[in-house]
Amino acid sequence: MQALAPAQREAVLRVVEANRTRPGALIEILHGVQAELGFIPPAAVPVLAQELNLSRAEVHGVITFYHYFRHDAPGQQTVRVCQAESCQSMGSEGLTAHIKKRLGIDFHQTTPDGRFTLEPVYCLGNCACSPALMRNEELWGRVTPERFDELLAEWKGGQ
């Protein structure tokens, strides 16, 4: 396992110190580490375990139980496709299959060029405009495979 870079270690320790006395500190700390670094490096597990007086297995178990936590650095852009019932009833399963094919990746993966990470999400609160997706913090509704292709072309163009 590769060691944490000094800046990453400092970020992890800073998040631990800010949250260690909170109830359910591990979850808060994991969210904080991911917010700081974009993911939770595997090398952070022993540091977190030592700092919180937990076993490595306990820390690893929490990280792997929750799909929200990333184990690898995300791409430059994160595309989240809604998988909730409203979006499913309006075609998100077909849209999801199209997006996976176009990007050449599955959920929780990043394109080889590092530009896009694909994530499922279970409700974006845009049910009236299903199916919905989000790129970084931008929300789109009534997305068809054709509309996704248009958006992807824009995103690849840097817009």
Q: Domain ranges in the chain?
A: 6-65, 77-156
In this structure, the number of other CB atoms found within 10 A of the CB of residue 107 comes to 15
Per-chain mean pLDDT for the chain: 95
CATH code: domain 77-156 is 3.40.30.10
pLDDT in tens, 94-117: 999 999 999 999 999 999 999 999
Per-residue pLDDT at 8: 97
